[in-house]
Homo-oligomer: A and B are copies of this chain.
Amino acid sequence: MNLNSALYTDLYQLAMGQSYFLKDKHEISATFDYFFRKNPFEGGYVLFCGLEEVLDSLEKISFSEDDIHYLEAQGFDSNYTNYLKTFKFTGHIQSMSEGEIVFPFSPILTVSGSIIECQIIETFILNSLNFQSLIATKASRIRYIAGRDKSLAEFGLRRAQGFAGLQASRSAYIGGFDYTSNVLAGKEFNIPVSGTMAHAFIQSYDDELTAFRDFAETRPVNCVLLVDTYDTLKKGVPNAIIVAKEMEARGEKLLGIRLDSGDLAYLSNAARKQLDQAGLDYVKIAASNQLDEHVIRSLKEQYAQIDIYGVGTNLVVGKANGALDGVYKLCSFNNTPRIKISENLKKMNFPGKKQVYRYMNQDGQYIADAITLDHLDTPKTMAHPFETHKRMPIEYASVKALLHDVMIDGKRVHTKKTTLELVKIAEENLSKLPVEHKRFANPHVYKVGLSPELEQLRDQLKKEKLDS
Contact = CB atoms under 8 A, between A and B. Distances in A.
Given A215-B19, A229-B340, A7 B204 contact: no
This protein's copies in its complex: 2
Given A74-B193, A221-B75, A230-B341, A157 B123 contact: yes
A70 interface: yes
Interface string A330-358: 10010000111110000100000000000
A405 interface: no
A161 B128 CA distance: 8
A273 interface: no
B160 A131 contact: yes
A77 B214 CA distance: 15
A97 to B, nearest CB: 20
A186 B11 contact: yes
Interface stretch (A239-247, A317-325, A387-395): A317-325
Nearest to A122: B158
A81 interface: no
A157 B10 contact: yes
Given A5-B184, A322-B322, A338-B203, A162 B19 contact: no
Contact of A322 (B77, B196, B261, B313): B313
A87 interface: no
A194 interface: yes
A197 interface: yes
A305 interface: no
Contact of A127 (B23, B160, B203, B340): B160
25 contacts: A7-B184, A8-B157, A12-B196, A13-B198, A15-B197, A15-B219, A25-B204, A74-B193, A119-B198, A126-B158, A127-B158, A131-B160, A161-B167, A161-B317, A162-B166, A162-B168, A199-B340, A200-B330, A203-B330, A203-B338, A204-B330, A207-B468, A230-B341, A313-B322, A318-B322
Interface of A: 1, 3, 5, 7-16, 18-20, 22-23, 25, 28, 30, 32, 66-67, 70, 74-75, 77, 115, 119, 122-123, 126-128, 130-132, 155, 157-168, 181-184, 186-188, 193-201, 203-204, 207, 214-215, 218-219, 221, 229-230, 261, 313, 317-320, 322-325, 328-330, 333, 338-342, 347, 465, 468
